[in-house]
Amino acid sequence: MAYGRLSLVGACAAGLLLSSTAAFAQGEVEVLHWWTSGGEAKAVGELKDAYEAQGGTWVDSPIAGGGGDAAMTALRARVVAGDPPTAVQLKGPGIQEWAEQGVLADVSDVASEENWDDKLPAVLADIMKYDGEYVAAPVNIHRVDWLWANPEVLAKVDAEMPTTWDEFNAVADKLQEAGITPLAHGGQPWQDATLFEVVALGVGGPDFYRKALVELDQDALTSDTMVAVFDQLRKLRGYVDPNFSGREWNLATQMVMNGEAGFQIMGDWAKGEFLAAGQVPGEDFLCAAAPGDGFILNSDSIAFFKVRDEEQQKGEKVLASLIMSPDFQESFNLAKGSIPANENVPMDDFDHCAQTSKEDLEAAIESDSLVPSMAHEMAVPRSVRGEFLDVVTNFFNSDMSSEDAVQTLATSIDRARL
């Protein structure tokens, strides 16, 4: 009997040792991110669960605040204090800016072993590299220029999904006359900037968007087209409810879900909220590209910091490989509302909104109408982005004329780019 008990105790001890060894076998990562809404939390939970299933130890560091400005402030404080997280949700130019500081770890051994270059659109592969070395792994491809609608609300005014801004304004006017909020919106700088860039693409087209919001060309910034962009933004300002100021983006999505508003103009992370609430695309909500040609790209990636701890170094490699794996790319993006960054992931399990995104992405790459999101830190340095957000938010929250907004923007950008 004693022997029996001892062998049982021995087996448990061995088991514990094995499991703890197994846990350490896959390392430990602390991940700083801002995915805290319903759909976002579900998606990041897929990454956490997948990493822990491989025996890793996941330390979660969520910083609430849509769009990530609060998270980026927290990140800077952590790095300045010499205590960076193992990994962080980071975008485009931010990856380059942190890599220039020499604080990002490269995961090129994993990337070359797994041929990431053959699995990613070239534009994305370039964004994830610094000096030719991968320092980040992309989790998704979000599209910013989406229009979300409640079909029952549109039916109340006998309206269809608009395909031009004039059609959008006409439906919005009918909703307003019926006493329904046409546009659900959260009055925060990044959300105002999201509306601005979607209108800039829709009104000006991809070439104008690139010249004005990426190349910061003064002629484009001071053009009549930019005046027309602010004119349409002024129309949108007239379609939001009195309590829009400060509202979180996912609460605006809920206004569409519950029929309080007809539309939301927001990236397809909004689809993650509809899905998390059990809503069915095409039945409970509608998705359509916002009026205009092109595709505004916003890809979330996880960048890796140089850390001394060997278990964390190991954890980074395991996490990088996991992020690019087809299973994770499918499960994460099904929940997040985006489409896989890894082009080899089949789209069979994705809904028609995601299928549309994939088709439109390929068409945009082909026709050179794929543009990087300024509002979501894919296009310009944070300092320049900050000038766009300041001018657009001031315009949205005042009676500033479009002409004054154009002049203020051009001057601010000219100063910031120096």
Kindly list the residues in this chain that would bind ligand GAL in the complex (CB under 6 A).
34-35, 40, 66-68, 142, 249, 269, 298, 300, 376
Measured from the CB of residue 71, what is the shortest distance to ligand GAL in angstroms? 9
Between 44 and 172, CB nearer to ligand GAL: 44
Between 55 and 381, CB nearer to ligand GAL: 381
Measured from the CB of residue 22, what is the shortest distance to ligand GAL in angstroms? 31
Name the pairing type of β-strands 301-304 and 136-138.
Answer: antiparallel
Measured from the CB of residue 74, what is the shortest distance to ligand GAL in angstroms? 14
Residue at token pair 């822990």: 52
Residue at token pair 């896989």: 340
Measured from the CB of residue 269, what is the shortest distance to ligand GAL in angstroms? 4
**C-alpha neighbours within 13 Å on the C-beta side of residue 185:** 27
Between 40 and 106, CB nearer to ligand GAL: 40
Between 28 and 300, CB nearer to ligand GAL: 300
Between 273 and 360, CB nearer to ligand GAL: 273
Measured from the CB of residue 222, what is the shortest distance to ligand GAL in angstroms? 28
Measured from the CB of residue 37, what is the shortest distance to ligand GAL in angstroms? 7
Residue 84 tokens, joined: 């960076």
Measured from the CB of residue 322, what is the shortest distance to ligand GAL in angstroms? 18
Between 33 and 211, CB nearer to ligand GAL: 33
Q: Residue 335's closest CA among 367, 363, 304, 300?
A: 300
Q: Tell me if 142 sits within 8 A of 299, measured CB to CB.
A: yes
Q: Tell me if 186 sits within 8 A of 248, measured CB to CB.
A: yes
Q: What is the DSSP string of 230-281?
A: HHHHHHHHTTS-TT-BT--HHHHHHHHHTTSEEEEE--THHHHHHHHTT--B
Distinct helix (H) and strand (E) counts, the chain: 18, 14
3-state secondary structure (DSSP) of residue 301 = strand
Between 55 and 386, CB nearer to ligand GAL: 386
Sign of CA dihedral 306, 312, 318, 323: negative
What is d(CA 407, CA 312) in angstroms, rounded to the nearest whole number? Answer: 49
Residue 115's φ and ψ, nearest 5 degrees, are 50, 50
Give the residue at shortest CB distance from ligand GAL: 66
Measured from the CB of residue 348, what is the shortest distance to ligand GAL in angstroms? 24
Measured from the CB of residue 300, what is the shortest distance to ligand GAL in angstroms? 5
* 18 burial via Cβ count (<10 Å: 0-12, 13-18, 19+): exposed
Between 162 and 372, CB nearer to ligand GAL: 372
Sign of CA dihedral 239, 389, 136, 29: negative
Between 182 and 186, CB nearer to ligand GAL: 186
What is d(CA 45, CA 332) in angstroms, rounded to the nearest whole number? Answer: 8
Residue 355 tokens, joined: 């299928």
What is d(CA 244, CA 215) in angstroms, rounded to the nearest whole number? Answer: 32
